[in-house]
Amino acid sequence: MPYRAPVSDIRFCLDHVVGFDRVAATETFAEATPETVDAILTEAGRLCEEVLAPLNREGDLHPARLENGVVRTSPGYAEGFRAIAEGGWIGMSAPEDFGGMGLPITLATAVNEMLSSACLALQLNPLMSQGQIEALEAHASAEIQELYIPKLISGEWTGTMNLTEPQAGSDVGALKTRAEPQGDGSYKVTGQKIYISWGDHDMAENVCHLVLARLPDAAEGTKGISLFMVPKRIPNEDGTPGPANDLHVVSLEHKLGLHGSPTAVMQYDGARGWLVGEPHRGMAAMFTMMNNARLGVGVQGLGVAERALQHAVAYALERRQGRSHVEDGSILEHADVRRAVLTMKSETFAARALCLDCAVALDMGRATGDAEWRARGAFLTPIAKAFGTDTGIKVAGDGIQVHGGMGFVEETGAAQFLRDVRVTAIYEGTNGIQAMDLVGRKLADGGAAAFALLDEVAEADHEGLRAASAELRTLTEWMLAQDMQDRFAGSVAYLAAFARVLGAHYHLRAAAADASRAGIARFAAGRMLPEALAEMAKARTGAEELYAISTEEIAA
């Protein structure tokens, strides 16, 4: 079915759930007026509906391919990417000094949701560039900034991030790629990187790789890692792409989904690169890009959830099967189908509100410099990433179920959503790593950020939500008293409980602003919120039970 951009739902969430007016009231983002927001959402929605959404199936049926060392993209992708670039959507939140719009991350987040719904495989490309722009703005020299950032914003060049190696996945500190100084400010980078999204393509004139590598005097582990800009083509003095660098695509991965997005194995054979940031401080620079991408990936899950929901509702309204309490009605009149669709709708709203709330906090932290806003944004980021992607997977799976046997047939399109979104729970740090980060680094402030959020929830005019928030406060205090292994053992459940409590909070805020949303809010509070209590019980069990069973017993 045709995709409908949820412009009105996004605008409602901005106005009545996450308090975007506070962002627009700052001097930094004063240009984000209601008129500007309406224009941006409307135009982005039109692009997604008319230009990008038809490409989603094309990429799945006609994957990117490697031919004679050149990556050829799916039909229509180059035109779609050019429409994204020419519309200025890549540089929405990028600095105006380099050609960006300087708009809030919140608006970029809203637009990225629609881009992800329309064609997730293609949206991955500008998402990588957006993260690279932020990393270069924060850490690169003025010379690198002036050369690369305008090109990334315009879409003339695109960006990637190169972390993973065959022996170094989540343990980035095990990487072996090396960088040798050449005495002229450049370095020769040698090594192999895997799982590089959009590592090469034919849609732009240059591909700019941010590569983690070790200098000759580097220490072991993450403290010895530096970051380098390694372009596909070495820029000439006038900024145009020059000779080919000593790097190439070894192969493209054959993936479960996202067939339109080329995921490359990259080989660097003494490729020329330039240091970004301080020597041996590469992880700090790369984390700037990764943190940007973590919220972006949560939004990707949300985007697929929205499209899978629309697809399932359209099918359920048309499909007649069996008898329900409404004579000759559609399958949407059947209790279990209605339960499934309402669950999908409830979860999609909660994920949208969570991602936008996180983005508002990031914008407020940037605009005001306030430590509490920054802490809130940091705390919400792993929750938004994990819950957004888990929601995308669950909603896409439920969408297949609503379709019944037809959902398992590729021609209906329902299966593609699940295949495409599944990886989002893995990349930019698996959701388990997000949960460990939440109970580790994000509770390192003694729980201040967590308690501040729970203070807001505790003001709700809903007994069940107040009780759940009180229990979550007690659990947070319990977490703070445990050693890290016990925290880690319950971290996934703790994150899920927090997401459940926040989701109900957002639903009740929406219902207070618009009575027509009271029904779905009651559903969320009655059906979804109780799951928080079960998750909290699991979070308290600690690590002992995990290690009471031997490795031999597990493997038996």
Helices (H), 427-527: 431-439, 448-457, 463-480, 484-489, 491-513, 518-523
Per the structure block, which two tokens stand in for 345?
């709708």
Q: Is 444 helix (H, G, I), strand (E, B) or coil?
A: coil
| Residue 523 CB neighbour total at 10 angstroms | 17
Catalytic residue among 253, 428, 456, 552: 428
Which residue has tokens 């660097």? Answer: 268
Question: 224: Cβ–Cβ under 8 A, 6 or more apart, which residues?
Answer: 173, 214, 215, 218, 280
Per the structure block, which two tokens stand in for 97?
């000094």
Question: 350: Cβ–Cβ under 8 A, 6 or more apart, which residues?
Answer: 387, 391, 499, 502, 503, 504, 506, 507, 524, 528
The amino acid present at 476, given as its one-letter code, is T
372 flagged as catalytic? no
Which string of b and e fits 38-54 if b means at least 16 CB within 10 Å?
eebbeebbebbbebbbe
Phi-psi region of 278 (alpha: psi -120 to 50; beta: other; left: phi over 0): beta
- Residues paired with 180 in a beta bridge: 188
Question: 409: Cβ–Cβ under 8 A, 6 or more apart, which residues?
Answer: 415
Per the structure block, which two tokens stand in for 518?
């009271």
Q: Alpha-carbon torsion 170, 174, 179, 185, what sign?
A: positive
The amino acid present at 434, given as its one-letter code, is Q
H or E stretch covering 276: strand 263-276
CA 508 and chain centroid, separation: 25
Give catalytic residue positions. 428
